[in-house]
A = this chain, B = another copy of it.
Amino acid sequence: MKFGRPRGTRDFLPDEMGVRRVILDKVRNAFEMHGFEEMDTPAIELWEVLAAKGGDEVERQIYRFQDKGERWLGLRFDLTVPLARVVANTPDLTKPFKRFNISKVWRYEEPQSGRFREFVQADIDIVGAARIEADLECVSTAVDALRALGLGDFEVRINDRKILDGMVEGLGMGAEGKAKVFRSLDRLDKVGEEGVARELAAMGLPEDKAAAVLEFTHFRGQEAIDYVARELASSKAAMEGVEELKRIEALAGAFGLGGAMRIDFSLVRGLDYYTGPVFEIRTKTAQIGSIGGGGRYDRLIERFGGPPTPATGISLGVERLYEVLMEKIRAEGRRSGTAVFVASVNDAVAEEAVKISRELVGMGVPAEPDIMGRKLGRQLEYAEKKGIPYVLIVGPEEVRTGKFKLRKMAEKQETVTGLQGVPAIVR
Contacts and interface: CB of A to CB of B under 8 A. Distances in A.
A131 interface: yes
Interface string A254-291: 11100000000000000000000000000000000000
A42 B255 CA distance: 37
A309 to B, nearest CB: 13
Nearest to A12: B40
A78 to B, nearest CB: 15
B305 A2 contact: yes
A89 B9 contact: no
Interface stretch (A16-24, A174-182, A224-232, A237-245): A16-24
Contacts of A355: 254
A252 to B, nearest CB: 11
Interface stretch (A31-39, A206-214, A405-413): A31-39
A341 B34 CA distance: 10
A42 B373 CA distance: 34
A134 B177 CA distance: 64
A143 to B, nearest CB: 11
A54 interface: no
A129 to B, nearest CB: 5
Interface in A352-380: 352, 354-355, 358, 361, 364, 366-369, 371-373
A332 interface: no
A90 interface: yes
A137 to B, nearest CB: 5
A131 B254 contact: no
A323 interface: no
Most buried by B among A46, A48, A82: A46
Contacts of A126: 371
Contact of A134 (B33, B98, B371, B382): B371
Nearest to A250: B351
A129 B104 CA distance: 32
Interface string A376-399: 000000100110100000000000
Interface string A25-60: 000000011111111111111101100100000000
Contacts of A39: 11-14, 17
A207 to B, nearest CB: 37
A49 B131 contact: no
A86 interface: yes
Interface of A: 1-6, 9-14, 17-18, 20-21, 32-46, 48-49, 52, 63-68, 71, 73, 75, 82, 85-86, 88-90, 93-96, 98-99, 104, 106, 108, 118, 126, 128-131, 133-134, 137, 140, 144, 251, 254-256, 304-305, 336-338, 341, 350-352, 354-355, 358, 361, 364, 366-369, 371-373, 382, 385-386, 388
